[in-house]
Amino acid sequence: MIYFDNSATTKPYPEVLDTYRTAAEQFFANPSSIHKLGGRSEELLKKSREQAAQLLRVKPQEVIFTSGGTEGNNFAIKGTAFAFRHRGKHLMTTRVEHPASLRAFEQLEALGFDVTYLEVDRNGRISLDDVKKALREDTILVSVIHVNNELGTIQPVKEIGQLLKDRPKTLFHVDHVQGFTKVPLDFHEANIDLCTISGHKIHGPKGTGILYKREGIMLSPLLAGGGQEFGFRSGTENLPAIAAFVKAMRLSLERAQNGGIARLRNMTDRLRQALASHPLLSFNTPSGASAPHILNLTVKGIRSEVLVHALDRQGIYVSTKSACSSKTQEPSAVLLATGLSEEDASHAIRISLSFENTMDEVESFLDIFMQTIDKLETVME
């Protein structure tokens, strides 16, 4: 098996699963319970939060555990809109956000908020000048995906953060789900107020995530209840998953710092070099300002679903677009936003790697991929 669909989800590390099992067996009590067992669980939750904060270089009270990227994005976007609508109702985002963000903005539009959707260039990148022009006195939120989940394009997050530095009434939210561990981001240097990360993209368990909320920022909670997570996210904490997620954070960051990012870049460079001369292939991921683990390409004349299933039968796993939208028949909205034709967008696939992939897998993939394209091209003629 060659698994190149890591932007959809990753396989949990064995150590992560061990941590989950240990925590589930030995720290099963509710962290809110006042007896000794509850106290032990509360202590593990505290230590997990402190370790996560240390890894992110933030304060423990700025770490809110969530169920993942979708909840984190919704919480940041809606929580800001509802908390600060007295200041204004103008929000800003891009055309190439994850569906979790786009759908949240659409819901807010239905409630009377005014949303500006920034257009992107052929590489899927927004212009800093467009951000400047779109800012208004009543702009309360700018929300931007750091690394696009389909293209791998990196947005100018640091520059946007600096632009907003003198606008304390405009909050800055970054969807860092695809970038975390692969594309370093200093929350403070980029002047980020809110930042979303997800566990299952970094070999952690599904249903885990963090919303970084800068100290002093107020949000309207989406979930009412017992007041867990400093009163911002009620509900009994999923302690085994949280502990396992933090373990995945540590392990993934260690791999990144020990040459993992360079190895990812070497693998995607090898894919580009080997595929560049094929007459049916064209790259949609830009060669510059892109993440090291994502490569999106179009195979002319072969629909993406056909190619994905053909590779599947040979034990190779890639995807067509965002996993959240992959079962719909419409072409990728992200690719269309870059100006790609509907036909080319319908023939695009995404290859996404992780620190666990190897160059040997890349070479095996290339052999099978080329053979599969040649066979399908013959059938399609």
Q: Which of the residues are catalytic?
A: 324
* CB 98 within 8 Å of CB 175: yes
* Count of alpha carbons within 13 angstroms of residue 196, beta-carbon side: 29
- Strand ordering across the sheet containing 209-213: 63-66, 209-213, 194-198, 171-175, 139-145, 90-94, 114-118
Nearest to 81 by CA among 128, 136, 133, 143: 143
What CA–CA distance (Å, rounded) separates 259 from 123?
Answer: 27
What CA–CA distance (Å, rounded) separates 294 from 306?
Answer: 20
* CB 199 within 8 Å of CB 241: yes
Burial of 283 (0-12, 13-18, 19+ CB in 10 A): middle
The helix (H) or strand (E) run that includes residue 351 is strand 348-352
What CA–CA distance (Å, rounded) separates 134 from 156?
Answer: 16
> How many residues are there in the chain?
381
